[in-house]
Amino acid sequence: QAGRAGALRALGRIPEALTAAEAALALRPDLAEAHNARGNALTNLGRAADALAAFDRAIALNPGMAKALANQGNALRYLDRPEEALAAIDRALELLPDDAEAHANRGAALLDLGRTDEALRAFDRALARRPAFPEALVGRGNALRDGGEAEAALPLYDRALSLLPHDVLVRWNKSLALLALGRFAEGFALYEVRKASSRIVGR
């Protein structure tokens, strides 16, 4: 059931993924993978505090579970605890130094802390391992934009949009870069698309 929860989540069937993870835990309350899968589903549902508790339980059962440490870091970011998030992600990277997602998550945590130069390096490490990684492309774009290089960020958002052409958050971030450059008509057009889409997808 824990594996099924991961497959359902990959398909975007998040409530079913949560049900599958909880069914696995009903059979095996000590299964770290199931707690991790439950935490992932809860994260997708916007329940960051509940997700953090699930990841904490997974790590208590398996302290060397790098995936759960990285996921714990994400949950802490969503709860606006970036220093703790960075520490959790760094522990994950000690175990999985070549994990592209963990490097991207590290970049996001550093960006939350305003450490733009370090964030850029983290996103570069993620993209060196996975060049077609939309989240890392957007993260690097955001770091450039926040560092006053909005023009340099635009090609990164465009590459991300070539991979995820309908993603409202990529469009949103590109709109912020356009607005920062004074390209208001283009920026507000993307902003309006994002607002309309968010009502549909619930982001």
Torsion on CA atoms 91, 58, 51, 165, rounded to nearest 10? 60
Task: Pick out the chain residues at pLDDT < 50.
Answer: 195-203
pLDDT of residue 164: 93
Classify burial at 166, counting beta carbons within 10 Å of its beta carbon; exposed 0-12, middle 13-18, buried 19 or more: exposed
pLDDT at 149: 97
Q: What type of residue sits at position 64?
A: G
Given this model, what pLDDT does residue 200 score? 28
Q: What is the pTM of this model?
A: 0.87
Structure tokens at 162: 């070539």
pLDDT for position 196: 45
